[in-house]
């Protein structure tokens, strides 16, 4: 009697373990395909184009900076295979077992009917109902369910499809350029086109005795410090002799001068060969007299008569 009860208890325990640790219902494997692009940096360089000539005869110069990169681009076709399964949940057997029994009976009836109908019924009725039924009455397995399906990565394959070289040359946009003038080093910024506008008559060069400096050393370096570039511009002796006088002509107070002195400043800059600076000063004075039409007209006439400069009527469109 004792042995019989023990066997019953062992059987019940095994049944309970089987019920709680049922098997997952495996689904058809799923695959994913995608293209992966790998870019490997082969070369990285910076280039400073200081223009020609390398000796400055004028105080202004546009310097262009470019960043150049060479990549090896490799294209891979990636295939991932996933094992899919329906995880086992014991409580679902409460309704799957009776539904499975019904599905088996219905599937058998459908197969009998299919014989009479000469095989015209679809497989979803004759085969799938029976498959569903046997999975349903199995207490250790749930019925297949795509909605509850889970997956694990089974394998990963990568096939190389193509390899090519790729080159890029981009402007050094709004980045730092160091300019060493004598003992001082200035940090200037390029514009959105990667152009640095050097002007020896403007800040920060105006704050030092630029007339004593014959060489400008320009350098750029990427943030990671992996590459840099240097370039040199020479300042001619002739230009150095003009810079101090030109600076005074441009930046000394204008409002305390009369029209004749204004004209002298513009004319003298032109005589020094600094035509761009002369035109800029000319336009500044025209803007300064905009609210005094009579003074502006006097200034324009004096420019034409004393300096021989033809200035467009500021009132014209």
Burial, 1: exposed, middle or buried (Cβ in 10 Å; 0-12, 13-18, 19+)? exposed
pLDDT at 51: 92
The segment with the largest mean pLDDT, out of 184-188, 248-252, 312-316, is 184-188
User: How do residues 28-49 score in pLDDT, each as one tens digit?
Assistant: 888 999 999 999 999 999 999 9
Contacts of 235 (CB under 8 A, 6+ apart): 55, 56, 200, 210, 213, 214, 215, 216
- Mean confidence (pLDDT) of the chain: 83
The segment with the largest mean pLDDT, out of 166-170, 283-287, 295-299, is 166-170
pLDDT at 61: 94
CA–CA distance from 166 to each of 71, 80, 161, 162 (Å)?
5, 28, 16, 13
Mean pLDDT across the stretch 203-226?
87
In the predicted structure, residue 221 carries a pLDDT above the cut 60: yes
pLDDT at 313: 52
User: pLDDT-based confidence at 9, cuts 50/70/90?
Assistant: very low
pLDDT at 312: 52
Cβ burial 33-71 (10 Å sphere, 16+ → b, else e): eeeeeeeeeeeeebebebeeeeebeebebebbbbbebeb
User: How do residues 58-83 score in pLDDT, each as one tens digit?
Assistant: 999 999 999 999 999 999 999 999 98
Q: Which two tokens stand for residue 53?
A: 């000539």
Q: Which residue has the higher pLDDT, 286 or 125?
A: 286
In the predicted structure, residue 178 carries a pLDDT above the cut 50: yes
Mean pLDDT across the stretch 279-305?
86
In the predicted structure, residue 12 carries a pLDDT above the cut 60: no
Q: Which two tokens stand for residue 193?
A: 């086109």
pLDDT at 168: 93
pLDDT at 36: 92
Q: Which two tokens stand for residue 126?
A: 């004759």
In the predicted structure, residue 231 carries a pLDDT above the cut 90: yes
Q: Which two tokens stand for residue 292?
A: 């005094």
pLDDT at 227: 92
- How far, in whole angstroms, is CA 80 from its chain's centroid? 28
In the predicted structure, residue 266 carries a pLDDT above the cut 80: yes
pTM score, whole prediction: 0.64
Q: What are phi and psi of 27, to 5 degrees?
A: -105, 165
Closest-CA residue to 176 (of 162, 166, 186): 186
CA distance 312 to 92: 92
User: pLDDT-based confidence at 234, cuts 50/70/90?
Assistant: very high
pLDDT at 311: 62
pLDDT at 88: 80
pLDDT at 217: 96
- Give the DSSP letter string of 285-306: HHHHTTT-HHHHHHHHHHHHHH
CA distance 55 to 307: 29
pLDDT at 2: 41
CA–CA distance from 228 to each of 63, 185, 219, 222 (Å)?
16, 16, 7, 6
User: pLDDT-based confidence at 19, cuts 50/70/90?
Assistant: very low
């Amino acid at each position: 009697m004792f042995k019989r009860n023990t066997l019953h208890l062992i059987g019940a325990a095994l049944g309970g373990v089987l019920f709680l640790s049922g098997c997952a219902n495996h689904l058809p494997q799923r695959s994913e395909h995608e293209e992966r692009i790998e870019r490997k940096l082969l070369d990285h360089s910076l280039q400073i184009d200081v223009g020609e000539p390398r000796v400055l005869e004028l105080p202004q110069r546009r310097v262009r900076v470019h960043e150049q990169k060479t990549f090896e681009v490799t294209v891979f076709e990636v295939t991932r295979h996933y094992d899919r399964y329906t995880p086992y949940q014991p409580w679902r057997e409460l309704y799957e077992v009776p539904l499975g029994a019904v599905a088996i009976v219905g599937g058998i009836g459908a197969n009998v009917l299919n014989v009479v109908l000469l095989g015209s019924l679809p497989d979803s009725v004759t085969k799938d109902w029976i498959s569903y039924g046997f999975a349903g009455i199995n207490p250790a397995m749930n019925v297949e369910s795509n909605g509850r399906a889970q997956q694990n990565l089974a394998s990963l394959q990568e096939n190389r499809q193509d390899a090519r070289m790729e080159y890029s040359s981009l402007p050094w946009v709004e980045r730092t350029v160091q300019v060493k003038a004598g003992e001082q080093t200035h940090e200037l910024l390029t514009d959105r086109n990667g152009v640095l506008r050097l002007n020896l008559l403007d800040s920060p060069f105006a704050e030092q005795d630029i007339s004593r400096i014959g060489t400008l050393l320009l350098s750029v370096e990427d943030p990671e410090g992996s590459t840099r570039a240097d370039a040199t511009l020479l300042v001619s002796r002739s230009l150095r002799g003009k810079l101090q006088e030109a600076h005074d002509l441009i930046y000394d107070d204008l409002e305390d001068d009369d029209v004749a002195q204004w004209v002298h400043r513009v004319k003298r800059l032109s005589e020094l060969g600094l035509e761009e600076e002369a035109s800029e000063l000319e336009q500044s004075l025209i803007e300064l007299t905009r609210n005094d039409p009579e003074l502006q007209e006097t200034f324009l006439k004096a420019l034409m008569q004393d300096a021989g400069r033809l200035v467009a009527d500021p009132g014209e469109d």
